[in-house]
Chain A
Amino acid sequence: MSTLIIGASAAGLATLESLRRHNYDAPITLLGAEPDLPYDRPPLSKHYLATTNPHPALRPEQHLANLNATFHLGDPAVALDAARRTVHTASGRTLTADNIVITTGLTPRKLPNQQPLTGVHVLRTLADATALREDLLARSAGDITTDGPRVVVVGDGVLGGEVAATARGLGCEVVLVGPQRGVLWGQLGEVVSGLLGEVHGAAGVELRLGTAVGGLTAVGGRVSGVELVGGEQLAAEVVVVALGAAPATEWLQGSGLKVADGVVCDEWCRAGEGIWAAGDVARWWHGGLNRLLRLENRTNASEQAAVVAANIAGQPTKYEPIPYFWTDQFTTKIQVHGIPAADAEVTVAEGSIDERRFVAHYRKDGRIVAVLGWNMPKQTRLHRKHLLPA
């Protein structure tokens, strides 16, 4: 009963590790689109971007060798035949297995009609982060004459906020542009988004929110700035486009699988006979919430992979997590358990907003749907119990 895992990042590697922990001793192959050994993504917008730290390996090379699996890296899957459980790769490999696990993650969105320009970045892969870091660390190269480059971050979600904070910490002049009323407004609502905006403002990030970007300006193939709808231009040597990402499912066209904002799975994370999905790419039926759900966060990658591995190893397990994500922006750590909403009622349950150290409850229809911590990690976790099924 062989297993082929498509995607060699957190979810893919966690599937492999979990299978071996279940004493699954059949052949396992891990296919990865990128050439690097499996690495961790959360540091890419934080520590890795800020310093010359090395490759944030998920596991040491010796540990990978001990997993007794075949790694094909730098070879993206290009097609799947679900009925035959056969995958074709860019290099021409044809791989077949009894179980196929799809962990291909996300592809970052770009601006409409975005042309390739020097100085314009998205941030998803290690290569993306390395290229952005080189631009951010460039102090006086070429036409960059200020202390640090002028950076415009397009996007007001988690990634946009983190990149803006890291770039500002490096001494760059940073403008954050986004369509929402505040950073993370759509997810966290007015109160917390307002506080987060204050953090950015106090650190010197210029916030241009409620503003749509019309396009990029360029001189000689290098970006020179961002043009807002309405015509105003913001000069920049570096532009980071952080407009979210879409599930990496283009290669599944014609596969026979149902794809709709991710690989659609049942409550066991099964997409078809012998086909499974985990991590950012999987949209599965959460029995506790009674709806399809897709989560883009680090902990989901590990937890969903563990459930898929249990199911393959013959221990049927439904996947019904309490979602969790965190973001670090400057010295503020925000942690969220559950699913918050911008229109939820927010009350402080512990600590105080004045001290910038608190736990908040998000309520909808009188029920607590999320617990948010602001610089109060342990206490936040203790409030997680309010989200457990009755």
Chain B
Amino acid sequence: MKIIVDQDKCVASGQCVTAADTVFDQRDEDGIVVLLTDNPSPELAADVHQAAAVCPALAIVVED
């Protein structure tokens, strides 16, 4: 699993962190997404896909 985030598209909703808080975080100053790991362990796959699905800016792409 590989994760790509687009910080230019990100609208800082933080929905990804709510879905998978060991993989995604937000910058303190403006809330833009920060990727904590781009290749998380397989048991997090469902959470990561949920994060990509609920991102309102379509800023997360997951490649299995």
Chain A residues close to B by CB (< 8 Å): 14, 17-18, 21, 40, 42, 58-59, 298-299, 302-303, 306, 324, 326, 328, 333, 335, 376-381, 384
What does DSSP make chain A's interface, helix, strand, loop or mixed? helix
Q: Is the CB of B14 within 8 A of A378?
A: yes
Given contacts A299-B56, A377-B26, could you give 13 more A-B pairs where the C-beta distance is less than 8 Å? A58-B58, A299-B15, A302-B53, A306-B50, A306-B54, A333-B11, A333-B31, A335-B12, A377-B31, A378-B26, A380-B31, A381-B13, A381-B17
Q: Is the CB of A18 within 8 A of B53?
A: yes
* Total count of chain B residues near the partner, CB < 8 A: 20
Chain B residues with CB below 8 A from A326, complex form? 11, 13, 56
B56 to chain A: closest residue by CB: A298
When chains A and B are docked, how far (Å) is the Cα of A98 from the Cα of B56?
30
When chains A and B are docked, how far (Å) is the Cα of A379 from the Cα of B14?
10
Q: Is the CB of A378 within 8 A of B15?
A: no
Chain B residues close to A by CB (< 8 Å): 11-15, 17-18, 26-28, 30-32, 49-50, 53-54, 56-58
When chains A and B are docked, how far (Å) is the Cα of A83 from the Cα of B28?
53
B54 to chain A: closest residue by CB: A302
Q: Is the CB of B54 within 8 A of A299?
A: yes
Q: Is the CB of B54 within 8 A of A303?
A: yes
Q: Is the CB of B56 within 8 A of A21?
A: no
State the Cβ distance, A89 to closest chain B Cβ, in Å: 28
Select which of A306, A333, A378 is within 8 A of B28 by beta carbon.
Answer: A378
State the Cβ distance, A352 to closest chain B Cβ, in Å: 15
Q: Is the CB of B58 within 8 A of A378?
A: no
On whether A335 and B49 interact (CB within 8 A), knowing A40-B58, A302-B56, the answer reads no
Select which of B13, B50, B57, B58 is within 8 A of A377 by beta carbon.
Answer: B13
When chains A and B are docked, how far (Å) is the Cα of A237 from the Cα of B14?
39
Q: Is the CB of A324 within 8 A of B30?
A: no
Chain B residues with CB below 8 A from A298, complex form? 56
Select which of A14, A302, A378, A384 is within 8 A of B27 by beta carbon.
Answer: A378
Chain A residues with CB below 8 A from B18, complex form? 381, 384
Chain A residues with CB below 8 A from B15, complex form? 299, 324
Most chain A C-beta atoms within 10 Å of own C-beta, residue among B13, B15, B18, B30: B13
B29 to chain A: closest residue by CB: A378
When chains A and B are docked, how far (Å) is the Cα of A211 from the Cα of B20?
46
Chain A residues with CB below 8 A from B17, complex form? 381
17 CB contacts below 8 A, A to B, read A42-B11, A42-B56, A299-B13, A299-B56, A302-B53, A302-B56, A303-B54, A377-B14, A377-B31, A378-B14, A378-B27, A378-B28, A378-B31, A380-B14, A380-B31, A381-B13, A381-B26
